[in-house]
Amino acid sequence: MIADSALQTHLAALRACERCPQMQKPVVVGRAMASRILLVGQAPGDKEPQLGRPFAWTAGKTLFKWFAASLGWSEAEVRERIYFAAVCRCFPGKNPKGGDRVPATDEIGNCSHWLKREFELLRPTLVLPVGKLAITQFLPVAPLKDIIGQSFSINYRGHRADCVPLPHPSGASTWHRMEPGKTLLEQALRLVANRPEVKISVSS
């Protein structure tokens, strides 16, 4: 496992990133956890920059309920055992038509530099992309019903890992609360719970 200092150096450089002028600062990062489990969100909402951590608001509460039910981990334990990344690390701003702005292609490309570096540092063996934007960084575009509840072998820029996609826990989404989404989500969380990385994390 890598030294904490390497992750701290990475996160310091990430916090100072100025690659995307339309993105709203500050950069939101998780803890410097040297974990083999990498969770990849989409982008922070408007509350995360104020609170200083990923998944800090409504969607996060749902996400941590999922992990509490399936893994028996509290929010604090999840944050101590899983490295939190994202497709984009800054709040994109609001869409004039409502909701948060979807990051532009060049913004996603700019931020992929940081994700690539995290794969190099952590060499994760389990990747958990949360939501469609995150999932499509690792898997071909497909309906959620065709990919949630399954594990996929991926090769991300030369790094092999297993990928268990999760739906976005947004309160605006009903997919994970209705069938077949509810059952497929339960299947996905069981896959995560049975992973050796999860068992090692508990015993270490």
pLDDT digits (tens, 9 = 90+) for 132-157: 999 999 999 999 999 999 999 999 99
Supply the range of the domain harboring residue 170.
Answer: 4-203
pLDDT, the chain, mean:
95
Using one digit for the tens of pLDDT, what is the confidence trace for 101-142? 999 999 999 999 999 999 999 999 999 999 999 999 999 999
Which residues lie below 8 Å from residue 153, measured CB to CB, with a gap of 6+?
160, 161, 162, 163
C-alpha to C-alpha distance for 133 and 129, rounded to whole angstroms: 9
Q: How many CB atoms lie within 10 A of CB 102?
A: 14
What's 38's domain CATH number? 3.40.470.10
Look at residue 203 and tell me whether its pLDDT is greater than 70.
no
The residue ranking higher by pLDDT, 100 or 66, is: 66
C-alpha to C-alpha distance for 4 and 13, rounded to whole angstroms: 14
C-alpha to C-alpha distance for 140 and 132, rounded to whole angstroms: 10
Q: What is the pLDDT of residue 98?
A: 85
The residue ranking higher by pLDDT, 147 or 99, is: 147
Report residue 180 as tokens.
Answer: 């077949």
Domain count, the chain: 1
Q: What is the pLDDT of residue 201?
A: 73
Q: What is the pLDDT of residue 99?
A: 86
